[in-house]
């Protein structure tokens, strides 16, 4: 059972590693709007075709993106709406953390220091 857990967590880690790059998150965002060609993703992200291709290969290898061939073009799409759901959950987590941090900062700013240094 322990080996199965290790394998399972390794697979989770590989998916999260694929998502963890800012440019790949940007690609996922654009693919969430609908399928795109490499040229469209190049234009939208400002990356070179070679960089887009590298990122797409990582996303495809992890099963997050699929390529539908149409002649010489490859139309990329997300393999599941769950890819966007994962990103949305992380976004909500970040917003929650920001609210907690802002609240803690607000509370701490009202705390009077225990020892005031003499300025005279």
Which residues are CB-contacts of 27 (< 8 A; sequence separation ≥ 6)? 41, 45, 52, 55, 56, 59, 65
Range in 51-60, 64-73, 95-104, 108-117 the model is least confident about: 108-117
pLDDT one-digit tens code per residue, 64-100: 999 999 888 899 999 999 999 999 999 999 989 988 8
117 pLDDT band (50/70/90 cuts)? Answer: low
Give the H/E segment covering residue 108: helix 82-109
Residue 111 tokens read as: 């705390």
pLDDT at residue 59 tops 60: yes
Domains recognised in the chain with CATH numbers: 2-79 (1.10.10.10)
pTM of the model: 0.79
30-40: pLDDT as tens digits: 999 999 999 99
Whether pLDDT at 53 is above 80: yes
Q: What pLDDT is attached to residue 120?
A: 53
Exposure string over 73-100, b if 16+ CB within 10 A, otherwise e = ebebebeeeebeeeeeeeeeeeeeeeee
């Amino acid at each position: 059972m322990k080996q199965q857990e290790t394998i399972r967590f390794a697979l989770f880690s590989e998916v999260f590693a694929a998502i963890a790059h800012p440019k790949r998150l940007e690609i996922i965002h654009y693919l969430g709007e609908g399928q795109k060609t490499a040229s469209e993703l190049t234009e939208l992200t400002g990356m070179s075709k070679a960089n887009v291709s590298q990122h797409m290969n990582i996303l495809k290898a992890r099963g997050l993106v699929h390529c539908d061939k149409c002649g010489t073009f490859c139309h990329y799409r997300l393999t599941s709406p769950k890819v966007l759901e994962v990103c949305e959950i992380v976004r909500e987590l970040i917003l929650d953390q920001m609210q907690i941090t802002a609240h803690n900062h607000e509370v701490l700013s009202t705390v009077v220091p225990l020892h005031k240094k003499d300025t005279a």
